[in-house]
Structure 1
Amino acid sequence: MAVPVWGVASPKEKVTVKFAGQTRSTKAGKDGKWMVKLKPLKASKTPRKMTISGNTEIVLSNVVVGEVWICSGQSNMQYAVDNAPKVKALLPTAKNIRSFEVKRTVSFEEEDNVIGNWEGVPPSSAVAFGFAYFLEKAEDIPVGILHASWGSSSLEAWMPRDMVKDYPYFKAIMDDLDADTETRNRINSTLSNGESWSTKEDIFMRRQPNILYNAMMKPLAPYACRGLVWYQGERNTRYFSGVPEVTEDTWFHRVIGMKEYGDVLKSWIKRYRKEWNNNSMHFSIVMLPGYGKGTAIKPSIDPKSPTALSWAWMRESQMKVLDLPHTSVVNTIDLGDEKNIHPKDKLPIGIRLALAAEKHTLNKEIVAEGPTLKKVEKLNKQLAVHFNHAQGLKTIDHKAPRGFWVADESMQWKPAEAKLQGETVILSNSSITNPLYVRYAFAGKPDVNLVNGANLPAYPFRTDNQIPVVE
């Protein structure tokens, strides 16, 4: 892709950029801003110099060309390599990986500059490093990661302000922030106190809407990158639908719920592509893994239940992004920890993200997804579930497939007896004579074992259109 190089100079100053045999010149505008675009470059591990000259000269050395990705989200993206033993074990064999750690800060205005430096080391994020590691190993090209994440941040924290025109709920949140002098003064005071702040203030800032985008994401555009890996959603699982009325103690709950999250996420992706002026910018969404708690209204649930208000509804919402081109959802339904919202099993996520990037952005003919629902066929008292990406369909423990539930018109869900038949799963339950609907792995922390020949897990799904009654 074309490579933008931009900066500031004196108004109308001539600026020339030289790199890899290319020379591009332009004049700064009245505001001093300038930009040139280098023609697409071949990947290269050989360090070269980039010279930017005008009234003065800047020389950037040790510049390589490769696959650049933004990795963003909340705490499970921020989750450190040191805390994920299997990912940490990869460090000694890592090579050709560079990272830019975006400083965690906020701003009430969209910023032009971001705080951070390129370094010749892997990113601090376990998921981002695992992804970069396996992508570099597969393609033997440099991988650069722009890491911009912050624990417990909501989708709204990373939304540009102009999305208020599309979402009245977001406008209401932003109007309240604009009018909240106490909050604004508190944040400005924290920012003016220097480089570090208390954990209490850290939490207070990162849970606000929009101001993370302003400081940590807006300045990255339009850096030439292949795509963005997004591992976020936990903050938006507190409620099933809508934006709740919250108390002074739960002010940070004021974010969209699971039901609407996917639609807002799709709009967010379109808006980011506009910011980068790149309609083919790939977005790889990390599905939320297994977890055993419910919503703020009812946190204690049966983690195996297909009807509980669990993270199953968020996963379904996340899958909506597949309506858009140049998107992928990395399945984590076999991962996670029932009691820990920060599971350590980050290694498979990195592997699967790399596979998705190879297939969808580098056009490699590989299997990058697990089985997905193709259709359900009625067979008397049984249902036959047919899958896409099902070559070599099997179970990892050689036992019968688990995690399937069936229901008739009464919508009373019963665990299904499941058996493999080639690339199809046959379902039945002795108490249901007319099965109509299927739910698979549709629970907070389901017990699953169905994979394809590439050992990638089957995606959760449901075939009914029932929306739960929220208590």
Structure 2
Amino acid sequence: MKKILFFCATLFCLSIADAKVSMPRLFQSGMVMQRGKTIPVWGKADVGETVTIRFNKKVYTTTADADGRWRIDLPKMKAGGPYQMSVNEQTIDNIMIGDVWLLSGQSNIDVTIERVYPQYTQEIDNYENSQIRLFRVQNETSTHGVKEDIRPTNINWKPANKQNAWLFSAAGYFLGKRMFEKSKVAQGIIVNSWGGTPIEAWISEDSLKTCYPMLIKKLQMYQNDAYIRAQMQANGAANQQWEAILNQTDPGYADAKCDDSQWPVVNQNDWIWRGTGSVWLRQHITIDKAHAGKPARLLLGTLFDRDVTYLNGKQIGQTGYQYPPRRYDIPEGLLQEGDNVIAIRFINKYGAAHFIPEKPYMFCFGDDRFSQNPMPQDVIPLSQQWLMHVGAEMPQCPGGDVSLQNQPTTLYNAVLYPLAPYAINGVVWYQGESNTGNPAYADYLKKLMDSWRDRWQEQLPFVIVQLANYDGRQQSGFPRPITPQVDPVNSGWAQLREAQRTAVKADARAELAVINDLGETVDIHPLRKKEVAERVALCFDKLLYNNKVKLSPEVVSTHVSDAAIQLTLDQPIQEGDLYTFEVCNNGSDKYQNVPAVGRGNVITLLYPTASQAPCLKIRYAWKDDPKQANVRSLNGLPMSSFELKIK
């Protein structure tokens, strides 16, 4: 009998030891928790299990409910740390209390410190701060409802330094740095983004099903797991077969001794190849004695779409898609005095293979070669002339990617829902490129903000980063040179910027970061992410700390006279002649450019028939790439593009 009792007691002790309290993966050593707000801590445990949190010399206790869920709300705290938290048998170390920011959207959030490094080499090289902590949510989708937690990862909360930030969001890194400099408290940066994704993937099903039933039907098409598996397997097999045939039939022209003497010459700024398959370009370049044998970096701008690049027959780099800058490091000893050969194998599945103009194409030497700004004597520019030969022409690759990340609600379910109710200070939404041309975007954006606030049960402040200037014709193989848009056009990018502007204007807890001067005509991923972060920070300054902060100028009233239209702004602007204003009469879609001048806080449009029109429509900066738009506040912030009616 004693043995039986001893055995039962042992089993009881083992069951107690095996009972494990779990928390979401955000709760890890090095985490930052939000100051000045109630801090929810939650998780799972055995039904009825007692959960005890010890934190900052206090003890908090609760019991897991009938579903095994538990939650304890820690009281508001001031900034400080580091602290230790114990949750039953688990311990979380090095916790800071400060400000936590959630950054979400598509690829312009994804753009890494590695990508923008040449813009800010000294700053990145020389900066580290253990009070700025970085957390990257791993990509995942769900077509079958919400998930309880995000995907596991070995990348936890990391302090900000060059190594940890190298593949982290540049916008997030610079936002954390700027907000720390302003507040001197710890900063937690949570990045949760996925390149190329549309806004509807980030909105809850409940928010979409009433007004957009077709989107829900689209989601239901992808709720058949057998179909998804079969489609993905078929696509993978088709791609493998396509690549195998390509490689078997492409003779290859990487060898430095390849006879290219009869190849035709093409100019990279006036060259496109609309075939499918592979095409080779070669260039001979003379290296002087001073640079022969030295380590170097080859800058090949940006190419469409894929490339494999060789130097003197040796592969020095490859890039699998169109957007990343080609920066290929050349080891010591590979460059020889005299003739050297660069060979680029373009691989093209769609569109037109081409170089992207206005990007750097050169060899860089010396210790400053990574900055793209070395001493003049350490730069050898490439020629714009290349020798061309088709490698292997191929048929279109069959199949189509299911791209679950682009389907409605799939990202809300998998990577947004599980983050709440982790206490955060504000949200940055930097997205829109994948929704240009969608007339419903303003409503989508409202639904996104509402559904996220509903999930957090809090009126979260949002900063919406407006689309930057960019001319999409560059990526489509449009014949060179591309002339700037001067005459009025129907711009899909301007329409989406207007949707962003109007959605923010209707929301008292949102602000708009205008960046129509920070983009690049030829690059959908502009590199000036520090400046983007500064504008986002200014918006949070106004939303959270000081409502007197002046952001981009806005029109607050209008007046029509016999000879002109006057727009009164909310602040003074830089004075002088102003450009990209357009006017049309009601009932007409034909806009015309009109001259304008700025004085004080008034813009005057010289439109002599204004008073004769019963209704006028005015547009500003209504172009994909409004290079000439020049309305700026006294502190240099640009005015948003807009469209308005005057009765």
Which one is further off, 351-360 or 100-109?
100-109
Q: Which residue among 97, 103, 111 is the counterpart of 1:65?
A: 97
Does residue 428 of structure 2 align to residue 221 of structure 1? no
Amino acid corresponding to residue 348 of structure 1 in structure 2: E
**Larger radius of gyration, structure 1 or 2?**
2
Distance 1:425 1:216 in 2: 45
Alpha-carbon spacing, 1:180–1:38, altered in 2? closer, same or farther (3 Å): closer
SS in 2 for 1:451: coil
Shift, 1:429, TM fit: 4.6
SS in 2 for 1:449: coil
Amino acid corresponding to residue 76 of structure 1 in structure 2: N
Shift, 1:52, TM fit: 1.0
Deviations 1:199-233 (A, max 9, x none): 99998343333222222212111100012111111
Shift, 1:78, TM fit: 0.4
Matched residue, 1:326: 509
Deviations 1:364-412 (A, max 9, x none): 2552411011122112111111111x13x105xxx52222122334553
Amino acid corresponding to residue 147 of structure 1 in structure 2: V
Q: Which residue among 388, 399, 417 is the counterpart of 2:595?
A: 417
Q: Percent identity?
A: 28
Matched residue, 1:35: 71
Q: TM-score, normalised by structure 1?
A: 0.83
Q: Which has the higher strand share?
A: 2
Matched residue, 1:253: none
Given that 1:302 and 1:308 are in contact with CA atoms closer than 8 Å, whether structure 2 keeps it comes out as no
Structure 1's unaligned 5+ residue stretches are: 191-197, 241-256, 467-471
Shift, 1:445, TM fit: 1.0
Alpha-carbon spacing, 1:69–1:265, altered in 2? closer, same or farther (3 Å): same
Distance 1:9 1:173 in 2: 36
SS in 2 for 1:273: helix
Does residue 386 of structure 2 align to residue 350 of structure 1? no
Shift, 1:164, TM fit: 3.8
Structure 2's unaligned 5+ residue stretches are: 1-36, 236-319, 322-398
Matched residue, 1:52: 87
Shift, 1:133, TM fit: 1.5
What are the equivalent positions in structure 2 for 1:447-458 lying under 5 Å apart?
A: 447-458=628-639
What are the equivalent positions in structure 2 for 1:214-363 lying under 5 Å apart?
A: 214-237=413-436, 240=437, 257=438, 259-278=439-458, 280-293=459-472, 303-322=485-504, 323-361=506-544, 363=545
Alpha-carbon spacing, 1:202–1:384, altered in 2? closer, same or farther (3 Å): same
Given that 2:232 and 2:401 are in contact with CA atoms closer than 8 Å, whether structure 1 keeps it comes out as no
Shift, 1:80, TM fit: 0.8
Given that 1:414 and 1:429 are in contact with CA atoms closer than 8 Å, whether structure 2 keeps it comes out as no
Matched residue, 2:245: none
Alpha-carbon spacing, 1:333–1:382, altered in 2? closer, same or farther (3 Å): same
Deviations 1:60-119 (A, max 9, x none): 110001110111111111011121233565333352211111112223342212234211
Alpha-carbon spacing, 1:173–1:201, altered in 2? closer, same or farther (3 Å): closer
Does residue 312 of structure 2 align to residue 132 of structure 1? no
Does residue 189 of structure 2 align to residue 154 of structure 1? no
Amino acid corresponding to residue 325 of structure 1 in structure 2: A
Shift, 1:325, TM fit: 2.5
Amino acid corresponding to residue 142 of structure 2 in structure 1: S
Shift, 1:51, TM fit: 1.3
Which one is further off, 99-108 or 218-227?
99-108
Q: Which residue among 401, 406, 412 is the counterpart of 1:207?
A: 406
Alpha-carbon spacing, 1:372–1:121, altered in 2? closer, same or farther (3 Å): same
Matched residue, 2:157: 118
The size of the alignment, in residue pairs, is 428
Alpha-carbon spacing, 1:15–1:269, altered in 2? closer, same or farther (3 Å): same
Distance 1:408 1:14 in 2: 71
Distance 2:206 2:112 in 1: 32
Distance 2:128 2:460 in 1: 26
Distance 1:205 1:171 in 2: 14
Q: TM-score, normalised by structure 2?
A: 0.61
Deviations 1:28-87 (A, max 9, x none): 11222111001111112x31101111xxx1111100011101111111110111212335
